[in-house]
Structure 1
Amino acid sequence: MVHRTSKARALVLFWKENFKLDVQTFSKYHINAKINQNTNEEWRFMGFYGEPDTNKRHESWNRLRRLKNRGSATWICVGDFSEITRKSEKIGGRIRPHNQMQPFLEMLDECRLIDLGFVGSDFTWHKHYPRYTVWERLDRVGAIDEWLLKFLDTKVYHLDVTTSDHKPLWIVLEGVVYTQQQPFRFEQMWITDKGCGATIEGVWKTNFDEPRVEKILRKIDMCGLELTQWSKKKFGSVRKELETKRKRLARAKRYARRGGDTSWLRTLEAKINSLMDKEAKMWRQRSRVAWLKDGDKNTRFFHTKVTQRRRRNSIKGLFDEAKQWCTNQNQIVDIDVNYYQQLFTSSNLDNLEEVLAKIP
């Protein structure tokens, strides 16, 4: 961790204990680490923060040029560069002068960093002003061509968030196995609802003609099933409302970027933050430290199911005829089928008999 020098800036790099990563150098503007050091699979990860002061921005570009030469391993650079590469990467506020962007472009070219693109919103940062909002793509991922050959199908996702003015970047690498634990737990937030106690009490009052131990185990299993169903119907409304509000927020952002009123956008952001506070206990419980502290002291029926899903090489999404990005598997299938049906369907046939007569 590189300690912050102000309330708004700090660099932190986390990795799992069994992950082969070695930090080489760091400063308040960067963290330079090697993955799989001294092996044939060695590569470098660079976390970078660009100088926010425009007058000092050239110092950032010179710093990255120097870091480029720290070793011969192929590398990727990720971070908030505090700069854009073209005028289309900004909406609102004053127009970015070309001579301010040009040094950034020259540095990217000298370092051979290729923009990996993105999936999601066009912008990664925004700031509200009394009469307008500024949107910019300040955060990006760049890599040299040798790195891209190792991870050719890498995808960068711009994730939505309402608690920060920057969007998180999620980088999915080809060839790296990702596992995700999806534990089922007794959620502490359920205790705030009377329906939770009533559901558990109803299960424990049920009689089963079985030996005592088997009876208890069966009731524990039933508690989990009944609470899951109850949560979906009753307590699950918080999550559904969050999903609905986030969809509305996406529409509000598109409207605001076209120069519309931002009051609706600000109201939705406030409501989403309020809903997220209601889920705070659940997310706090799911953090490892909080769970050890006070997670399992209220009930003994808790059990965990761990599922691991391997990332598959597949089509992640397609644009439909309305130019909407679709990631649902059923939608992708429908788009494929419709495309090839239209491709191989004949229309407005003329002189068909003449064509058939030429076939031997």
Structure 2
Amino acid sequence: MAEIKCKLEKSQGMTVPSVCRNGGLALLWKDSLLVKVQTYSPRHIDAIIAKDDRNKKWRFIKFYGHPKTRKREESWRLLVNLSPRSELPWVCMGDFNEISHRGEKEGGGERPEWQIRAFSSAINKSKLRDMGFVGPEFTWSRRLGARGWVRERLDRALVSTNWASLLPQVRLYNVASCSSDHNMLILKALRPKSRNKRRQRLFRFEAMWIKEEECDGVVKEAWERGRILMGRKIASLTKKLQWLECLLGGGANMEEIHATKVELNKLLMAKEEMWKQRLRNCWLKLGDRNTTFFHEKASKRHQRNTITRLLDSNGNWQDEEHIMGHIFVEYFQELFTSSCLTVSEELLEAIHPKVTESSNLC
């Protein structure tokens, strides 16, 4: 774990060991954060977090629902019991091993209704709500042999109302992963788009390309078509994987997802070799793909007073610009439009006229 901390640039943290092959939790953080762990168990880590402004505190709970259905109720009792322990805004995030409605499952056997209701009831009792997500609809998938694939949304973030008000710019991103059957959950704030144009990078030969059988052909083709950058290939495959995960489909789509993950894995392994060659150090070992450790970026962004999303009349969050425009128009039209207006005679008689009849004749 000490090595992982260094590579993730997180100097502080705590871990809860797994039970047999199930579970195992880790919470890592930077020195710039003030984190106080309140309680922990094989199913949760409860911590209070503060950054620069120590008065702006909030609560983060890493949660892992019991993998066995017959013991799932224990997890829901834990969730409900954690709720009243602090008045701070809080978010509960992790793998709950359960769905909240039938639309969050595709393929496989049908989930019992009582099981779904138990999870939804625990969320309501805890005074939390699903904060939604950006990205693929499902966060977990598995091949069932001849029966095809099963996909479910098991991972999520539940937030209190005051947490959503405290950090309205934060979104949860479901990011497809090629090395796990679960997608990654990334909780981060929206950032303004940069208008600065990037400089065109210089071409440099990479020694790792020699290991590929197609190297000779690629070099010859490169002389004709121009340079081929691995970063663009990885970005393209990552975008393709994210797009495939968002599609609704059967086994054929899942097979394509599996093939894309295999291809992306090969490129990521090659990228390791590239950074190992460039940096000439011993930090990177085979199997470690955290190349962001070698990409130190310390650029400060100017915060802008922007409205990133709006709650429409149906209670749904909207972040499309044209939809937000319609919400603004509808709101102010309703605000400044009179409905069922009645003016009593007594009120009219109490008003003293300022314009006389002679003034109207002029």
TM range (shorter): 0.5 to 0.7
Q: Secondary structure at the match of 1:118?
A: coil
> Does the aligned pair in 2 maintain the 1:29–1:49 contact within 8 Å?
yes
Distance in 2 of aligned mates of 1:27 and 1:278: 39
CA–CA distance in structure 2, aligned partners of residues 83 and 158 of structure 1 = 16
Q: Confirm or deny that 1:18 pairs with 2:35.
A: no
Does the CA-based 8 Å contact 2:172-2:187 persist in structure 1? yes
Structure 1 residue 308, shift from structure 2 partner? 2.7
SS at match of 1:76: strand
TM-superposed CA distance for 1:254, in Å, is 5.6
Q: Distance in 2 between matches of 1:303 and 1:36?
A: 26
1:341-356 residue pairs with structure 2 within 5 A? none
* Partner residue, 1:160: 176
Q: Structure 1 pair 119/161, CA: closer, same or farther in 2 (3 Å)?
A: same
**Cα distance 1:252–1:69, how it changes in 2: closer, same or farther (>3 A)?**
closer
Taking the aligned partners of 1:266 and 1:255, their CA distance within structure 2 comes to 14
Q: State yes or no: 1:268 paired with 2:282.
A: no
In the alignment, structure 1 residue 134 sits paired with structure 2 residue 150: yes
Q: Which amino acid aligns with 2:171?
A: K
| 1:257–1:317 CA distance, 2 compared to 1 (3 A) | farther
Specify every segment of 5 or more residues in structure 2 that has no aligned partner in the other structure, as ranges.
1-14, 192-197, 211-222, 286-293, 311-318, 327-362
Equivalent pairs: percent with the same residue?
Answer: 33
- What residue number does 2:84 align with? 69
Query: Which moved further from structure 2: 93-102 or 31-40?
Result: 31-40
Q: CA deviation at 1:95?
A: 1.6
Matched, 1:239 2:254: no
Letter in 2 for 1:279: K
Amino acid at match of 1:117: G
SS of residue paired to 2:81: helix
- 2:292 equivalent to 1:278: no
Aligned partner letter, 1:54: T
Unmatched runs of 5 consecutive residues or more in structure 1: 176-181, 195-229, 294-301, 319-326, 340-360
Q: Deviations over 1:210-250 (max 9, x none)?
A: xxxxxxxxxxxxxxxxxxxx9xx6462x2222233334434
1:36 equivalent in structure 2: 50
State the 1:256 CA deviation: 6.7
Tell me which moved more, 240-249 or 146-155: 240-249
Q: Which residue of 2 aligns with 1:169?
A: 185
Task: Please tell me the root mean square deviation across aligned C-alpha atoms, in Å.
Answer: 4.2
Give the secondary structure class of the aligned counterpart of 1:4: coil
Please report the TM-score for the alignment, with normalisation by the length of structure 2.
0.63
The residue that corresponds to 1:98 in the other structure is 113
2:136·2:243 contact (CA, 8 Å) conserved in 1? no
Question: Which residue identity lines up with residue 133 of structure 1 in the other structure?
Answer: W
1:161 shift after superposition? 1.2
In 1, Cα distance between equivalents of 2:205 and 2:40: 40
- Identify the residue that residue 138 of structure 2 maps to in structure 1: 123
Correspondence for 1:348: none
TM-score (norm 1): 0.64
In the aligned structure 2, how far is the partner of 1:285 from the partner of 1:168? 28
Seen in structure 2, the aligned counterparts of structure 1 residues 309 and 118 have a Cα distance that, compared at 3 Å, is same
Report the 3-state secondary structure (helix = DSSP H, G, I; strand = E; otherwise coil) of the residue aligned with 1:43.
strand
